[in-house]
Structure 1
Amino acid sequence: MASVILSIADARRLAEDWIAAWNARDLERILSHYAEDVVFFSPSVVTRYGEPTGMLRGKHALREHFRRGLETFGANVQFTIMDVLSGVNGYTVYYSRESGAAVVDTVVVDMLGKGVQVHAHYRAT
């Protein structure tokens, strides 16, 4: 895959749609942002499943993880974009949650703009 610097406009478009999907609690729309073979790293994987690597592999595993998240937080889920940064083959979205926690997700994308590797980082309130 050739390296491409994602434009800030494209990065913002992807991030805004992803945030809107979470705020709408639309699991299929959320998942549309990920490749089938996505590798996802998050502290929530450790706390929710006791998986010490913090890693999930594949869209099927991510579907279950996000389904549980939506089930747990339900109508309270509300993400707000604070900033979006573009980079080589990806972007970073800095956002806040309804709890006031700050989150940074760094997403490496494939040629279709689908996340193939994601690293989530949290700052609790």
Structure 2
Amino acid sequence: MIAAIFNHDEARKIAEDWIGAWNNRELDRIISHYADDVEFSSPTVMTRWVEPSGVLLGKAKLREHFRRGLELFGANARFQLLDVLTGVSGYTLYYRREDGATVAETVLVDGDGKAQRVNVHYARIK
């Protein structure tokens, strides 16, 4: 397998579109960034799904997770992009949520540039 450092300009473009989709509450646009076989790990999986592993598998399950998130936070959901970091075969989004919590999402992409593995980390969990 040949790996490559993810292009920073491309990562920033993806990040800005993803943040914009959340801020505009566009679920289809949000989910378009993910591969069908995405593996998504987040503390919010544990709280919204009572899933002890903290992991959701597949785009359909992730879509429902995000739908619940949009429903839970309503019109108050607002993300502010702070930075984008790039690495081998992926990137990390660093942003602030509406409640002040800072979040880092590390994304590894598939051959089509879609998020295939996502690990979400919070500086402060409520």
Q: Cα offset for 1:99?
A: 0.6
Give the aligned partner of residue 122 of structure 1.
122
Give the aligned partner of residue 60 of structure 2.
60
Matched, 1:90 2:90: yes
Number of aligned residues: 125
Task: Look up the SS of the partner of 1:86 in the other structure.
Answer: strand
- Identical amino acids, percent of aligned pairs: 58
Structure 1 residues 17-59: Cα deviation after superposition (integer angstroms, max 9, x where no partner): 1101100100000000000000000000011111111000000
The RMSD of aligned alpha carbons is: 1.0
Query: TM-score, normalization: structure 1?
Result: 0.97
Stretches (4+) displaced over 2 A: none
Unmatched 5+ stretches in structure 2: none
Unmatched 5+ stretches in structure 1: none
| Partner AA of 2:65 in structure 1 | H
| Partner AA of 2:7 in structure 1 | S
| Partner AA of 2:110 in structure 1 | D
Task: Look up the SS of the partner of 2:105 in the other structure.
Answer: strand
Q: Cα offset for 1:77?
A: 0.7
Could you tell me how far apart the structure 2 residues matched to 1:87 and 1:11 are? 10
Structure 1 residues 85-104: Cα deviation after superposition (integer angstroms, max 9, x where no partner): 01111000000001100000
Could you tell me how far apart the structure 1 residues matched to 2:99 and 2:12 are? 23
Could you tell me how far apart the structure 1 residues matched to 2:64 and 2:49 are? 11
Q: Cα offset for 1:106?
A: 0.3
Could you tell me how far apart the structure 2 residues matched to 1:76 and 1:89 are? 33
Structure 1 residues 55-90: Cα deviation after superposition (integer angstroms, max 9, x where no partner): 000000001000000001010011001110011110
Give the aligned partner of residue 104 of structure 1.
104
